Structures are given as C-alpha cells and as structure tokens.
Amino acid sequence: MRKTVKAGVLAAGALFFLASCQTQSTETQPVSSSTAGESSTLETSSPKVEESRQDTASEVPHDVNELFAKAVDMYRATFPDSDITSVSYDISRVADKYEIEGVDDETEYSLSLFADTFDIKEMEQESLDDDERGGVKRSQEKLDMAKLLPVQEVINLAEAEVGKGQQVEWEVTKDDGLTVWEVDIRLDNNSVEVTIDNDSKRLIEVDR
C-alpha cells in the first residue's frame, strides 16, 4: 500500500509539474508576441520617421533671401547715391549671376556679380537721355526695396502654380507702375514664366 501511495503521489506530482510547465510556456508566448508587435510597430512607423527627417530638412531655410540682400548691399556700396530699378538672378553654364540696375537724376548704372563669390563680373554706367534726366526716370522706375516680397516667397508662389522646377531664374522690376516679379521655372525640357504682382501677390500671367 505504501508503494502504491508513493507511486500515486509521484504520478500526481509529475502531472502537476507538466501542467505547470505548459502554463509557464503558454504565459511566455504573449511576451514573445508583444516583442514582435513592437518590432512591427517600429517598422511601420519608420517611414514616418523618414518623413519627419525630410520635413525637418525642408524646414531648413534657404539662403536665397540673404543672398538677395547681399547683392543689393553690394550695389549700394558701389553706387550709393542711386535708386535700384531692377534685380535679377540668371543661370548660366559658365557662372550664375546677379544683375542689379539703378539710376540717379543723371545716370543709369548696372552691376553684375558672380553668384557664388559675389565678385564683380561687370560694371557699367551711362548718361540718361534728356527726357529721362532731372529725376524723371528715377521716379518712374525706382523700386521700393522695403516693400519687396522675400525672394523665396515669390518662388513658392510661382511653383505653387506650375510645379517645382529644377532651376529657377527671376527678376523684379517696374512695369507700368506695378512692381512685378518674373519667375522663370525650368520643368524637364520646358520653361515656364510666371509673372506676379509684388503688392497683391496676384498671379498676372503664366507663359508656357
């Protein structure tokens, strides 16, 4: 009888041990599943992380506004007693350049700068015609520099209309009393010119 009881106890203990092991094994599976779920969540969210990085990169301000200001300062230092009538940025296979034109009561001026170094490429001045002197041309064509839109904002307005381009040229000048921007955007093999009113930000024309 004692042997039978011991055997029964051992058998019961073995069954309890096996059941306990199965319970522990069953309880550990959700942990493994949870770990896999976290990994899957990270993989799912990884594109968002990349998007966030791209957004952060796109938030880094472009320096076109500062470069514009530097070009203007260079002109003012060269021809301090004149008013600016136009500023442009031109792309060339040789070298990109800024060109600033201006006028005083008797003379019109032009300053061309290499865009990468701001070294002077060319500098010109020419006497005005008789009917342009005495401040006539100056009052008609001078730009109110304090009221100009930032260059990057103008480019954004143009690209919102026609799409983002590989290369962008622009010019700001007076046209029939209006201060206008002409933005030339190169899309693949095509070039699109967008004209924008500086004061109202209104789209005037799209020339495809």
| 96 and 149 part of one domain | no
Q: 128 lies in a domain?
A: yes
- pLDDT tens-digit readout, 122-133: 999 999 999 999
- pLDDT tens-digit readout, 61-84: 348 999 999 999 999 999 999 999
Q: 19 lies in a domain?
A: no
Measure CA 162 to chain center: 16
Specify the CATH number for the domain of residue 84.
3.10.450.40
> Total structural domains in the chain?
2
Q: 47 lies in a domain?
A: no
With tokens 């070039």, the residue in question is: 191
**Long-range Cβ pairs for the range 163-172 (8 Å, 24+):** 163/187, 165/192, 167/91, 169/88, 169/89, 169/90, 169/91, 170/88, 170/89, 171/86, 171/87, 171/88, 171/89, 172/86, 172/87, 172/88, 172/143, 172/148, 172/198
| 179 and 194 part of one domain | yes
| Confidence (pLDDT) at 188 | 83
Range of the domain at 121: 62-142
Instruction: Identify the domain boundary among 124, 142, 160.
Output: 142
| 138 and 68 part of one domain | yes
Q: What is the percent of the chain with per-residue pLDDT over 90, rounded to a whole number? A: 64
| Confidence (pLDDT) at 144 | 98
| 172 and 107 part of one domain | no
| Confidence (pLDDT) at 189 | 82
Q: 71 lies in a domain?
A: yes
Q: 22 lies in a domain?
A: no
| 113 and 90 part of one domain | yes
Higher pLDDT, 193 or 20: 193
| Confidence (pLDDT) at 32 | 38
